């Protein structure tokens, strides 16, 4: 009996070591600790807390369930798995070994998948909910969800998500017109105060960092902010140098392709050509100097749905056409459609091209049925900084959503705990 127990223990330990080696190798492959898609045909990726498509991927340790979903338009035969990678406050690999933050198995299969229902563009839909009885995490902080096909050297996608401590610090935010008089009417400052509560923070200058994120974007997030003043129980992040300042931009443009039986919001035509469905968005105008216009929207996000059929996985994919009219040329850079519909990236297929015959800029994107927000952004040649104001204008009144994250690396610890999270807008004032 004793020999059987010892043999079983050796097998378990051996499997654990194999899993750790396998996972360690995953961190050496060519993936980015960011929201990225690596495999052709993968589309409509959503990672949210709970079951709300518009929820941020941030939750509470031991309480929140995360939901990942995506489609494979190439209909590849895959054996998809996922695991977690723990990161620092600034999205670098943390010093933790996987066994220190992953509970259960080091990887888990994605077992829920199904074929699209009655769609012209066929696809395989995948989804998973975590943590679960097979895999979970024991530490708070920043995480990467890493999805791969069978082995870690076949990456499919990576997604960022955040796990907060069960006793979070309280954060009070104040979104207001920029302190800088030159940007007062175009930018927004985000000041905030952290009430540390149960956390004993002896040296906040070294151990506390904060991040501000605008509308769920990471490309323009303010990362690594240090407190400016306060006490052991109250940390103030109030800046006068623009460290906490964002261009306000304009309210996002909208369109709706959740029905293909009639023209919905800002859709002027729907056609079926060469066995594909096409939808045409109302022509847009560049508006860099237009007055602020209030408009309810989803702050750049999208909501997948099919109003024509009440069946799971019935949302079809539609070639969606965009046109932009501008009184000024784009000679020193490129223009892109931008938002969650492009994964908050500058995608080649989202780049607009000039149509000389009709004197407008145009492109088309293959999009899943639903309601969408978007904007046009400009990238000057030789620059890596996206400029949304060049075409859309910028206003201090714009109802952007700002997420504030506060991290604390306890003395003697080797990782950054997420001790606070708060969302705020200028409308809260």
Q: Is the dihedral of CA 295, 296, 301, 303 positive or negative?
A: negative
Q: What is the pLDDT of residues 272-324, one digit of tens each?
A: 999 999 999 999 999 999 999 988 889 999 999 999 998 889 999 999 999 99
Q: Is the dihedral of CA 112, 113, 119, 123 positive or negative?
A: positive
| Number of helical (H) and strand (E) elements in the chain, helices listed first | 4, 31
Distance CA 79, CA 147 (A): 10
> In the prediction, which pLDDT does 2 show?
43
Q: Which residue has the higher pLDDT, 257 or 18?
A: 257
Q: Using omega within 30 degrees of 0 as the cis cutoff, is the peptide bond preceding 131 cis?
A: yes
For residue 366, give the H/E element and its range: strand 360-368
> In the prediction, which pLDDT does 417 show?
97
> In the prediction, which pLDDT does 223 show?
98
Distance CA 244, CA 222 (A): 7
Q: What is the pLDDT of residues 221-234, one digit of tens each?
A: 999 999 998 887 89
Distance CA 157, CA 169 (A): 32
Q: What is the pLDDT of residues 324-350, one digit of tens each?
A: 999 998 999 999 999 999 999 999 999
Using H for helix, E for strand and C for coil, what is the string for 132-156?
Answer: CCCEEECCCEEEEEEEEECCCCCEE
> In the prediction, which pLDDT does 204 show?
92
- CATH topology for 170-248+399-428 is Immunoglobulin-like (2.60.40)
Name the residue with tokens 């077992």.
Answer: 111
pLDDT above 70: residue 265: yes
Buried b vs exposed e over 321-342: b needs ≥16 C-beta within 10 Å? bbbbebeeebeeebbbbbbbbb
In sequence order, the β-bridge partners of residue 211 are 223, 405
pTM, entire model: 0.92
Buried b vs exposed e over 36-69: b needs ≥16 C-beta within 10 Å? bbbbeebbbbbbbbeeebebbbbbbbeebebbbb
Name the residue with tokens 């990467």.
Answer: 144
> In the prediction, which pLDDT does 282 show?
98
Name which of 7-21, 32-46, 110-124 the model is least confident about.
7-21
pLDDT above 70: residue 24: no
In sequence order, the β-bridge partners of residue 337 are 376
Please give the average per-residue pLDDT across 377-391, as a whole number: 96
* Architecture of domain 2-164 in this structure: Sandwich (2.60)
Q: What is the pLDDT of residues 175-223, one digit of tens each?
A: 999 999 999 999 999 999 999 988 989 889 999 999 999 999 999 999 9
Q: Is residue 282 within 8 Å of residue 241, measured between CB atoms?
A: no
pLDDT band at 11 (very low <50, low <70, confident <90, very high): very low
> In the prediction, which pLDDT does 416 show?
97
pLDDT band at 19 (very low <50, low <70, confident <90, very high): very low
* Domains of the chain by residue range: 2-164, 170-248+399-428, 253-392
End-to-end C-alpha distance for the chain, whole angstroms: 69
Same fold: 2-164 with 170-248+399-428:
yes
Average pLDDT, the chain: 92
Q: Among 27, 34, 66, which Cα is nearest to 47's?
A: 66
> In the prediction, which pLDDT does 18 show?
43
What does the CA dihedral 105, 108, 112, 116 come to, rounded to 10 degrees?
170
What percent of the chain stands above pLDDT 70?
Answer: 93
């Amino acid at each position: 009996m004793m020999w059987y127990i010892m043999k079983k223990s050796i097998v378990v330990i051996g499997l654990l070591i194999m899993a750790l080696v396998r996972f360690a190798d995953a961190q050496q492959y060519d993936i980015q600790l960011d929201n990225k898609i690596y495999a052709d045909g993968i589309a409509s990726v959503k990672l949210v807390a709970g079951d709300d498509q518009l929820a941020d991927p941030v939750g509470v340790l031991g309480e929140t369930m995360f939901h990942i979903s995506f489609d494979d338009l190439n209909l590849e035969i895959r054996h998809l798995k996922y695991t977690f990678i723990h990161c620092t406050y600034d999205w670098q690999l943390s010093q933790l070994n996987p066994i220190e933050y992953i509970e259960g198995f080091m990887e888990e299969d994605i077992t829920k998948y199904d074929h699209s229902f009655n769609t012209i563009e066929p696809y395989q839909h995948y989804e998973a909910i975590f943590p679960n009885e097979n895999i979970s995490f024991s530490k708070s902080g920043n995480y990467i969800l890493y999805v791969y096909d069978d082995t870690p050297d076949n990456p499919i996608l990576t997604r960022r998500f955040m796990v907060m401590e069960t006793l979070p610090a309280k954060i009070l935010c104040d979104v207001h017109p920029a302190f800088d008089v030159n940007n007062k009417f175009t930018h927004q400052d985000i000041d905030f105060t952290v009430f540390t509560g149960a956390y004993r923070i002896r040296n906040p200058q070294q151990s506390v960092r904060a991040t501000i994120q605008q509308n769920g974007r990471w490309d323009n997030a303010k990362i690594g902010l240090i407190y400016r003043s306060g006490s052991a129980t109250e940390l103030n992040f109030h800046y006068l140098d623009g460290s906490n300042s964002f261009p306000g931009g304009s309210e996002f443009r909208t369109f709706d392709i959740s029905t293909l039986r009639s023209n919905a919001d800002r859709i002027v035509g729907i056609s079926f050509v060469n066995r594909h469905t096409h939808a045409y968005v109302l022509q847009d105008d560049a508006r860099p100097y237009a007055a602020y216009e209030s408009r309810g929207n989803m702050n750049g996000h999208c909501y997948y749905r099919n109003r024509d059929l009440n069946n799971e996985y019935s949302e079809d994919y539609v070639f969606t056409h965009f046109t932009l009219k501008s009184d000024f040329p784009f000679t020193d850079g490129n223009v892109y459609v931008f938002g969650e519909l492009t994964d908050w990236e500058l995608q080649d297929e989202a780049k607009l091209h000039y149509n000389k015959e009709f004197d407008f800029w145009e492109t088309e994107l293959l999009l899943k049925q639903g309601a969408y927000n978007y904007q046009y952004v400009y990238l000057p040649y030789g620059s890596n900084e996206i400029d949304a104001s060049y075409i859309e204008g910028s206003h201090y009144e714009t109802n952007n959503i700002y997420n504030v994250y506060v991290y604390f690396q306890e003395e003697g610890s080797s990782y950054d705990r997420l001790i606070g999270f708060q969302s705020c807008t200028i409308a809260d004032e």
